[in-house]
Amino acid sequence: MIRRISGARVLLPDGEINHQSVTIKGGLIAAIGADDTSSPILADGLLLLPGIVDLHGDAFERQLMPRPMVGFPADIALLDTDRQLLANGVTTALHGVTWSWEPGLRGRQAAVDLRDALIGLRPHLGCDTHIHLRFETFNIAAAGEIEAWLKAGYVKLLAFNNHLPAMQRRLDHPAKLAQYAERAHLSVADFATLIRETADKADEVPAVTEKLAAIARGCGIAMASHDDDSPAMRGHFQVLGCDLCEFPMTLETAQEARRLGSAVIMGAPNVLRGGSHQDRGIAASSLTAAGLVDVLASDYYYPALFQAAFRLVREDVLALPAAWQLVSANPARLAGFADRGVIAKGRRADLILVDDRDPGLPRIMATFAGGRLVHSAPGFAR
C-alpha cells in the first residue's frame, strides 16, 4: 500500500522544516517531495516529525498493578500500554522491566510473564516494543538466567540498578517502607528482613556485575548505569562498557559523563514538571541548557516525552530540531536502531502529525508506525 502525506511541514535530517510531501511504501519512506500517488492524506498546517523512541519507560507497571497487590495479566497490560504509547507519539519503546531480588511486581515471575506476553503479542502491537532489562545488582540468584536472556536476544538494553540503599534508609520508617512491601506482596516486617538478608550479599555484587557486563558487550547490547551519584561511579560503569549514564544524580556526574564520552539520559517528566520528583535529583532542563543531555526518556509517564520536547522549545532552551533529537534520532542511534529516528528516504516510516498551533498544548493528530496509521485523534481527516 502506498500513502502520501501532503502539505505538512516536515522536519528533515538537516534540521530544516519545509513543506513537503512524504510518500510511504512497504513500511518505509519511499520519497520526499514527490507527488506521484492519488488520494493523499492532507496535512496542511500540521507538523510531521519522526516517531518517538523511548529508551526507558516503566509506566506499564500501572497496567500490571493499578492498585497495591491488585494484579492483571501481562498480555492485557501490554495491549493497553501499546495504545497509550501510540497516542503519545511513541513508535519504538523499550519497556523498563525491573528484575529485582524483590518478589511481586519486580520479581522473576513478573519479568518472565512480561517477556513471554511480549513475544506472543508482537504481531498485534503497533509500537515496536523491546525489553530494557533493569538488573538489580544485588539479585545474585538471577545472574545465570539473565545471562541466558542476554545470549538469546531477549534484551535490547541492559541497565545496572541498585535501589537497595534507598530501601535501607527506610528501615526505621515502616510507613515509608510499606509501598515497597505492597509491591512485593510482603508484610513490612518480612520485607525489612529481606532487605537485611539481601544486603549481606554485597561481596558478591562486583563479580556478577562485571560478568554480565562482559556478556552484554560480547552480544552487542547497549548498557546503562542508573542513578549514578558521583563521577567515580560513572567512571566505574564506563570501564564496564556502560556508555549510557541514565539519570545522573549530580551536575558533576553529568559533566564527568560528558568528559568520558558517555551519553546522558534524563527523564522527560523532570523537564515537564520543572524538576525531579526526588529530593536529591537535579533539573533536566538546566542540564539540557548546559549541553549535558543526549536523550529524554518517559520514565514513569508516557505523555511527558512529546510534551517535554515542546516545553524546551517554549522556554528557549533548544530549537525544535535539537529538542526533537533528544526523543527520536539520539535514542534510536544509541540503542542501535539504524533504520529510524529521522525522516529520510529508506528509513522506517515511523511518523507523527502534530497540531502545534497552540504552543502551550501541541496535540498529536496521527501516528504512523512502520507505515501503518495506528492512531488518529478526533477531527483528523484521513
* C-alpha span between 50 and 343 (Å, rounded): 6
Mean pLDDT, residues 122-128 taken together: 97
- For the stretch 312-329, pLDDT in tens is 999 999 999 999 999 999
- For the stretch 180-220, pLDDT in tens is 999 999 999 999 999 999 999 999 999 999 999 999 999 99
C-beta of residue 72 within 8 angstroms of C-beta of residue 63: yes
Q: Same CATH fold, 51-161+205-338 and 1-50+340-382?
A: no
Predicted TM-score of the model (pTM): 0.96
- Report whether pLDDT(277) > 70: no
Cα dihedral: 288, 294, 295, 296 (round 10): 0
Q: Does the domain made of 1-50+340-382 have the CATH classification 3.40.390.10?
A: no
* C-alpha span between 240 and 142 (Å, rounded): 19
Write the CATH number of the domain with boundaries 51-161+205-338. Answer: 3.20.20.140
SS (H, E, C) 206-220: HHHHHHHHHHHHHHC
Residue with cell 542476554: 150
* C-alpha span between 107 and 36 (Å, rounded): 53
- Report whether pLDDT(244) > 90: yes
Who contacts 12 (Cβ-Cβ below 8 Å, separation ≥6)?
Answer: 18, 20, 32, 342, 343, 344
Q: Where are the domains of the chain?
A: 1-50+340-382, 51-161+205-338
Residue 245 φ then ψ, to 5°: -105, 105
Structure confidence at residue 275 (pLDDT): 80
Residue 129 φ then ψ, to 5°: -115, 135
